[in-house]
């Protein structure tokens, strides 16, 4: 198999890192890979904020609810949905930007940031680094906004930890492929059986890696999705100038 495909099929998040800096040239090459990502209407409504300072990484680890790998690894990159940059362009063209006042705006920004996040992770792993994406920063988005000095019309949507791996992790199985790849139309009939099969697959996986606290997919997903687990996202996004009524 082609080495890029192999690398991507072997994705696994890493939560144990060496105290070893990433050479500047290597980090720049990884960041450049994300910089070249496609964006909707070529709006380029994504910015990266790269944090390497140890004290600031410690602060981000706390903001994200106590995630030690953020403090441990040498680099934390925040993906920022950035309609501030575009607002300067729209003003320069003599118009007023309103896209941030819509669900479409937030959707576009989140998709584009997700593409950049994916490219960052693939590039970092191709460069021999480990990664783990971090949504935990949305637990307290205002603290991230203050720490990174983010202007209006921006939002810290996710982050990614990168560094040299200390203890590697294993590849986590996914829901059966047919529940992911649907042919011609959405195939809902097979889903309950796929889900039940996956609970069993995950139970064996947790046992195999010695994780007695591992939950079935159904219970883990319920734990999160029975409430809005990051309730600060909407009010803080509104404070940043985003709107969701249009
Ligand atoms: C957008 C996003 C946010 C995530 N946030 C966190 C996080 O805050 N902390 C963490 O340890 N893992 C986080 N993860 C990693 C997921 O838990 C992980 O991808 C999932 O369990 C599958 O495991 P794998 O990445 O090892 O295949 C996040 C993943 C994504 C895609």
Q: What percent of the chain shows pLDDT beyond 90?
A: 100
Give me the mean pLDDT over the 172-196 stretch: 97
* CATH code (residue 114): 3.40.109.10
Domain membership of residue 211 (yes or no) is no
- The per-residue pLDDT for 143 is 98
Domain membership of residue 165 (yes or no) is yes
pLDDT(241) > 90: yes
pTM of the model: 0.97
Q: What percent of the chain shows pLDDT beyond 70?
A: 100
Ligand 1 — pocket residues by CB below 6 A? 11-13, 15, 64, 67, 132-136, 158, 172
Domain membership of residue 161 (yes or no) is yes
Q: How far is the CA of 149 from the centre of ligand 1 (A)?
A: 25
Q: How far is the CA of 132 from the centre of ligand 1 (A)?
A: 6
Instruction: State the Cα–Cα distance between residues 118 and 127, nearest whole angstrom.
Output: 14
Mean of per-residue pLDDT scores for the chain: 97
pLDDT(1) > 90: no
Closest CA to 20 of 163, 161, 123, 150: 163
What lies within 8 Å, CB to CB, of 173 at 6+ separation is: 198, 201, 202, 205
What is the helix (H) or strand (E) element at residue 191, kind and residue range?
A: helix 191-208
Give me the mean pLDDT over the 11-39 stretch: 98
State how many domains the chain has: 1
Domain membership of residue 24 (yes or no) is yes
Tell me the residue range of the domain where 129 lies.
Answer: 3-170+230-239
- The per-residue pLDDT for 97 is 98
CA 96 to chain centroid, in Å, comes to: 30
Minimal-distance CA residue to ligand 1 atom 25: 13
Give me the mean pLDDT over the 106-117 stretch: 98
Give me the mean pLDDT over the 45-64 stretch: 98
Confidence of residue 89 (pLDDT cuts 50, 70, 90): very high
Minimal-distance CA residue to ligand 1 atom 30: 133
């Amino acid at each position: 198999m082609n080495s890029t495909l192999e690398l991507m099929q072997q994705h696994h998040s890493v939560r144990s890192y060496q105290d070893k800096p990433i050479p500047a040239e290597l980090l720049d090459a990884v960041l450049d890979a994300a910089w070249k990502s496609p964006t909707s209407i070529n709006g380029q409504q994504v910015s990266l904020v790269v944090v390497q300072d140890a004290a600031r990484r410690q602060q981000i680890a706390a903001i994200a609810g106590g995630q030690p790998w953020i403090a441990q690894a040498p680099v934390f990159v925040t993906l920022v949905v950035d309609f501030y940059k575009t607002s300067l362009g729209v003003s320069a063209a003599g118009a007023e930007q309103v896209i941030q006042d819509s669900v479409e705006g937030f959707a576009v920004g989140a998709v584009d940031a997700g593409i950049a996040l994916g490219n960052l992770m693939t590039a970092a792993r191709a460069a021999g680094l480990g990664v783990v994406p971090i949504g935990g920063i949305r637990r307290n988005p205002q603290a991230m906004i203050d720490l990174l000095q983010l202007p209006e019309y921006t939002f810290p949507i996710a982050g990614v930890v990168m560094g040299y791996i200390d203890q590697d992790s294993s590849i986590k199985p996914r829901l059966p492929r047919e529940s992911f790849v649907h042919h011609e139309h959405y195939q809902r009939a097979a889903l309950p059986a796929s889900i039940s099969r996956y609970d069993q697959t995950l139970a064996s996986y947790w046992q195999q890696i010695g994780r007695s606290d591992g939950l079935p997919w159904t219970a883990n997903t319920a734990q999160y999705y029975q409430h809005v687990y990051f309730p600060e996202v909407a009010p803080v996004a509104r404070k940043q100038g985003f709107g969701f009524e249009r």
